[in-house]
Chain A
Amino acid sequence: MANVGFVGLGVMGSRMAEKLMAMGHRVTSYNRTREKAQGLIDKGMHWAGTPREVAVEADVIFTSISDATAMSAITEGPDGLLAGLGPGKVLVDMSTVSPESSRALAAKVRETGADMLDAPVSGTVATLLEGKLLIMVGGRKETFERVKPLLEDLTSAPVAGKGPKVSYLGENGMALVMKIAMNLSLAVQMLAFSEGVLLAEKSGIPRQTAVEAFIRSAVASPMVIYRSPFLTKLPDEAWHTVNMMQKDMLLALELGRRVDVPLPTTAIANQFLTAARGMGYMQKDFAVLFKVLAEMSGLKDE
């Protein structure tokens, strides 16, 4: 049993904190709004008043927050994580932020005598519950080895799992690089999938028939399969919102400019995420790209 901290109880964070508790770990947590944590507090999660208290209480502190600005807010200042970190402690940041800002934070963490890993996850709420989450890790190898058992608890399946789900990518920032590189395909595949379905549908093929053909085809990625029902009905709770997806696209485009890699499909998909925002769909799952293109094609849904 480990003494674990968790800061950021969003859609993914709260479920990961719950999973750690279910695996028998002691979890101390902080979230900007306490209401979101109440369900977990009722199940035995310890509540801390500030991020600093979480860092003081726990040996390994996970963070899962939305962007670099929110990251500064929980790390800096007298109540921030950095103020509570010290020798022997490890900060495991699961947020998707730029590799550069993550490296800068790692340097500050090391000044306190603690260490830090970037550990972005690939997967949705559904894959987390199925135990199919992929965690990529960047940082010192020995620090990775130390927290690996905890990460494996996070990715463990309800029934004996299969396949490697924790991957060591290299030095600090490298796991974020991989995550960002991977996520560009999520949005691009969704947009190309939408183009195909609409082309088939406007040709006269019923949408359901077209979708079934897609999920049996060479292009049926897990993304296409999982999100295919969303073409007809979006989920009430977005798995990954348009705003979050656009944040990931911007990180990719920024990285592309920095290392000089042209990203043509990413640039196009990003414009359509902007269109989705313009049409008021910012908090919807990014599968709403289908609806954006459908409306542009003159199809009135629902």
Chain B
Amino acid sequence: MSNLGFVGLGAMGSRITKRLMSRGHAVTGYDIFPPAKAQDLIAAGMKWTTSGRAVCQAADITFSMVTNTAALQGASEGPDGLLAGLGPGKLLIDMSTVSPAVSRALAAKVREKGADMIDAPVSGSVSLVEQGKLAVMVGGDRATFERAKPVLEDIGQKVTYVGTNGLALAMKVATNISVAVQMLAFAESVVLAEKAGVPRETIIEILTNSAVASPLVQYKGPLVLKMPYQAQFNTIMMQKDMTLALELGRELHVPLPTAAVVNELLSSACAQGFGEKDFAILYRVLAQMSGVSA
């Protein structure tokens, strides 16, 4: 049993916290906007505190999982920030998807405190958290990774060391290009075949059993028949990831033609008010452009 902290109790953070408690860990939690869900977590045994600093002071290992780079900077800086509560022997595990450069800069500041930090972005949707099937990629010092590994394995069985600080984020962002692009190409296939006369159900049946049937196509494919009420991964978050990829591509001089195209269609989805919808809504955007009712 470890003495853990968790900052950022959103859709993923709250579920991971719950998972960690169910594996017998003590968790102290904080969120700048206390969600209603925090009450359930407190009822389940989570200790609530009043700042990121207080979480780091109370815990040996603190997780953070916030929406974007600005939120991570907000959570870490200042008198009540994470950095103020860190010290020798402590470990910060940041699970947010943020820019690798910003993550590396934060890791340097954490080390100045005598603590250490790893970036540990996850891949997989909320439903996989409860099943303990989340995949976790880790960037940072190898020895620190080994120390964090048992508790990460309590979150998901697939824990992979990618390299030095920031590299797990680079891998996550690189993978997510294909997540968005495969969805859009899948939508092109469905709308094209449908307008040419093949029934939508038949198309989905064929595609989800074809050479292009990645796990993503298999999960998301059926959503074009019926969009979920609650997004597994919404369009705004997906666009954030594409923006990170495009930024990294410019920085490293890697042209990203398909990422650029899909990003424009994500903009269109947001413009039409679908920002909070699952990014599978790309299908509806393309269907509307084609004059097909989705």
Contacts and interface: CB of A to CB of B under 8 A. Distances in A.
Interface in B154-211: 158, 160, 162-164, 166-167, 170-171, 173-175, 177-179, 181-182, 184-186, 188-193, 195-198, 202-203, 205-207, 209-211
Contact of B174 (A134, A199, A222): A199
B210 A189 contact: no
Nearest to B173: A199
Given A196-B174, A214-B175, A185 B166 contact: no
B253 interface: yes
Contacts of B207: 182, 185
A182 B184 contact: no
A200 B174 contact: yes
Contacts of B281: none
Contact of B189 (A174, A181, A210): A181
> Chain B interface secondary structure, helix, strand, loop or mixed?
helix
A204 B164 contact: yes
Contact of B192 (A184, A213, A269, A272): A184
Interface in A124-178: 124, 127, 134, 136, 163, 167, 169-171, 174, 177-178
Given A189-B182, A222-B211, A262 B196 contact: no
Nearest to A202: B252
B289 A262 contact: yes
A195 interface: yes
Contacts of B252: 199, 202-203, 297
Contact of A219 (B100, B178, B189, B291): B178
A193 B209 CA distance: 20
A2 interface: no
Interface stretch (B6-14, B83-91, B143-151, B254-262): B254-262
A288 B66 CA distance: 38
A218 B290 contact: no
A197 B158 contact: no
Interface stretch (A58-66, A70-78, A253-261): A253-261
Q: Interface size bucket, B side?
A: 35 or more
A278 interface: no
A283 interface: no
A199 B211 contact: no
Contacts of A223: 211-212
Given A219-B182, A259-B195, A204 B167 contact: yes
A203 B255 contact: no
B178 A265 contact: no
Contact of B206 (A99, A178, A200): A178
Interface in A214-238: 214, 216-224, 226
A167 B215 CA distance: 22
Contacts of A203: 100, 166-167, 170, 174, 248, 252
A297 B253 contact: yes
Contacts of A298: 253
A224 B265 CA distance: 24
Given A163-B209, A195-B259, A180 B192 contact: yes
Nearest to A296: B255
Contacts of B209: 134, 163
* Interface hub of B100, B174, B195, B262 (most chain A Cβ within 10 A): B174
B256 to A, nearest CB: 5
Contacts of B193: 177-178, 181
A261 B290 contact: yes
Contact of B135 (A192, A216, A260, A271): A216
Contacts of A224: 178, 214
A243 B259 CA distance: 24
A210 to B, nearest CB: 7
A198 interface: yes
Nearest to A267: B261
Nearest to B193: A181
Contacts of A122: 210-211
B184 to A, nearest CB: 5
B137 interface: yes
Interface string B234-257: 000000000001001100111111
B217 interface: yes
B69 interface: no
Nearest to A271: B257
Given A196-B175, A200-B170, A217-B215, 18 more contacts: A127-B211, A174-B198, A177-B193, A178-B206, A181-B203, A182-B207, A182-B211, A204-B167, A221-B211, A222-B212, A224-B178, A256-B188, A260-B290, A262-B290, A264-B188, A264-B265, A268-B261, A271-B257
8 contacts: A178-B202, A189-B182, A200-B167, A214-B178, A217-B135, A217-B178, A221-B182, A297-B254
Interface of B: 100, 123-124, 135, 137, 158, 160, 162-164, 166-167, 170-171, 173-175, 177-179, 181-182, 184-186, 188-193, 195-198, 202-203, 205-207, 209-217, 219, 245, 248-249, 252-259, 261-262, 264-265, 286, 289-292
